[in-house]
Amino acid sequence: MSWKNLKTLAIAILLVMDVFFLYSLIARERAARYYDSELIDAATKIFHESSLYVDKSFLTERIVSLPVYSGTLDEAFFEALLEKMEGNGYTAEKETGGMRFVREDVELYIGNDFTFLYGSGGEYASPSEMLESGSFVRCEPEDFPEILQAARAFLSEYSALHLAAGERFYYTCSFEELFVSGTDGVLCVSQEIGGRDTGNRLYLLYSDGQITAADGRFAIMAPVRKMTAQTVGRMELLFAEKDYLDEKYRQGGEVSRENMILEAVEDSYEVFFDADGSFYFVPVCTLTYRNGETRTYNSVSGEIYS
């Protein structure tokens, strides 16, 4: 065979081999990312046996790979915070689990578990507890621009507490719910990272045209590290949920099972703390049913979180 023909043959063989490897790689990648339809059919049938109704659309994607965000609320953080707050005229007092800052009639407590308490004018009410009284009515936040404006001013003042470390990753806040009673209002602010809910909620009490009290969990230290996480597959989570429902049925002793129709599957974050002051925003997956029942699973361990 001439050298010319040999080259043509080599091109043909190489082309076939390249196409084969490329196809295999794509197929494998797809198999890693998505469940095949036969598996989905078989799984949904098994779920049905436990009266768990799962739409196939929840099962196409195998793994939602969310990263873990982490940072440290250590002594250095509190020292820097202390310096900053003292510069703003606050006197500081170290307490168990956090630091208390006082300036004239304003008192602020920042905990190392993201606890955030604020009171002013001698009023140290707990807005989240005030909601339990039932006297507040839920309204659309957009209908009360003055409350949103006051909340923005409050948050911008205290988001200034974000130290330099918070440059790379940052939280976004959204006004989730507003409850109004007369001229007072309680605004619930949620904190998100990477576009996902962190589970942090801050309740702001609006009274006399300003924010007078606040309580809740609100991170003022942004994460400094983004880590790839070993998360479990969606199918594994749903089988864990099936096991949970089966066990609940067994222990409940009821004759018939309630149909559990899965309406939403949402990925978000929950914070975990280490002994050295490190915090980790770990992905969690919340299953919401038509009957209003929800259950949250830790996406790394695959176990029930709440």
Q: Which residues of 192-222 are buried (b: 16+ CB within 10 A; e: fewer)?
A: bbbebbbbbbbbbbbbeeebbbbbbbbbbbb
Task: Compare residues 4 and 45 and give the one whose CB is closer to other proteins.
Answer: 4
Binding-site member from 83, 274, 293, 304 for other proteins (CB under 8 A)? 274
Q: Does 227 sit near other proteins (CB under 8 A)? A: yes
Q: Does 28 sit near other proteins (CB under 8 A)? A: yes
Q: Does 250 sit near other proteins (CB under 8 A)? A: no
Q: Does 21 sit near other proteins (CB under 8 A)? A: yes
Question: How far apart are the C-alpha atoms of 144 and 147, rounded to whole Å?
Answer: 6
Binding-site member from 7, 48, 56, 138 for other proteins (CB under 8 A)? 7
Could you tell me the CA-to-CA distances from 265 to 237, 243, 286 in Å, in that order?
11, 18, 6
Amino acid 179 reads: F
Stretch of 136-144, 188-196, 226-234, 257-265 contacting other proteins, by CB under 8 A: 226-234
Stretch of 66-74, 130-138, 160-168, 182-190 contacting other proteins, by CB under 8 A: 66-74
SS3 223: coil
Q: Tokens for 249?
A: 């049925």
Q: Does 17 sit near other proteins (CB under 8 A)? A: yes
Q: Does 276 sit near other proteins (CB under 8 A)? A: yes
Of the candidates 115, 86, 83, the residue with the CA atom closest to the CA atom of residue 98: 115
Q: What are phi and psi of 305, to 5 degrees?
A: -95, -45
Closest distance to other proteins from the beta carbon of 274 (Å)? 6
Question: How far apart are the C-alpha atoms of 103 and 85, rounded to whole Å?
Answer: 10
Closest distance to other proteins from the beta carbon of 254 (Å)? 23
Query: What are the residues binding other proteins (CB under 8 A)?
Result: 4, 7-8, 10-11, 14-15, 17-18, 21-22, 24-25, 28-29, 67-68, 70, 93, 96-97, 227-230, 272-276, 280, 282, 298, 300-301
